[in-house]
Amino acid sequence: MARSTDNLIAELVDGLGPVRPLRLAHGVAFVLGALVFTIAAVALVAGIRPDVESALAEPVFLLATGLFLILGLAASATVVMMGRPQVGNNHSGWVWAAAMVGLLPAAAAAVLIGDNAAATNSTSTQGFGCLLAASGSGLLSFAVLTWWLRRGAPTSPESAGLIIGIAAGSFGIFAYSFHCTAIDIVHIGLWHSTAVLVSAIIGRLAVPRLIRW
């Protein structure tokens, strides 16, 4: 760099205008807005499962969707905070929520080991469709969180990409669960969890280059 630091400072001061600080509340509002919009879109395009419409949802549905919602919220909150750099920040809170969601595929595996028939009941065709639809349902959250971090200053782009993927995948499957009629733990543990995993991988691979600064 040939120019002196004093010249640089003079140039930067010349370019100064009033700046509105990035507010966490705005980030959270954008994310929740994206989630509400996604649920509405799923309801309008695909429809809501009958037991939810009649307020008689299955316990498995309530537990699983609740876990995905918590993971989505925890991961999203982490991403929103990552936009504001600070030495000493801890961005590991979402890991506990992820561990809780990890119980779903673990439970599915346990059922599959003990009951092979369960595997055949949970068809891969339905599961793969669910996986694709859930991943698609997470796109808006994915875009909003990526946009937020482009405005911010994330100092760990790789971690941020991974967590964006987890948040988007969790919100995607949470929203799509309102349509998906499957209630068996094998389907939920296998395919719904895989949707989060796929989204996390995409986030880890695609997002860092978009948010570097």
Residue ranges binding another protein (CB under 8 A): 1, 3, 5, 8-10, 12-13, 15-23, 83-89, 151-153, 155-156, 213
Minimum CB–partner distance for residue 160 and another protein (Å):
12
Minimum CB–partner distance for residue 149 and another protein (Å):
10
> In this structure, what token pair is assigned to residue 55?
């307020």
Nearer to another protein, 13 or 117 (CB): 13
Closest CA to 30 of 93, 66, 83, 101: 83
Residue type, 14: D
Closest CA to 31 of 65, 71, 79, 64: 79
Nearer to another protein, 21 or 59 (CB): 21
In whole angstroms, give the CA distance from residue 210 to residue 183. 37
> In this structure, what token pair is assigned to residue 111?
């059922």
Minimum CB–partner distance for residue 86 and another protein (Å):
5
In whole angstroms, give the CA distance from residue 68 to residue 70. 5
Nearer to another protein, 152 or 189 (CB): 152
Minimum CB–partner distance for residue 164 and another protein (Å):
17
In whole angstroms, give the CA distance from residue 136 to residue 140. 8
Nearer to another protein, 13 or 44 (CB): 13
Nearer to another protein, 16 or 44 (CB): 16
Nearer to another protein, 43 or 84 (CB): 84
Minimum CB–partner distance for residue 27 and another protein (Å):
11
Handedness of CA 135, 141, 143, 146 (dihedral sign): negative
Handedness of CA 195, 200, 202, 203 (dihedral sign): positive
Minimum CB–partner distance for residue 4 and another protein (Å):
9
Closest CA to 76 of 158, 148, 173, 177: 148
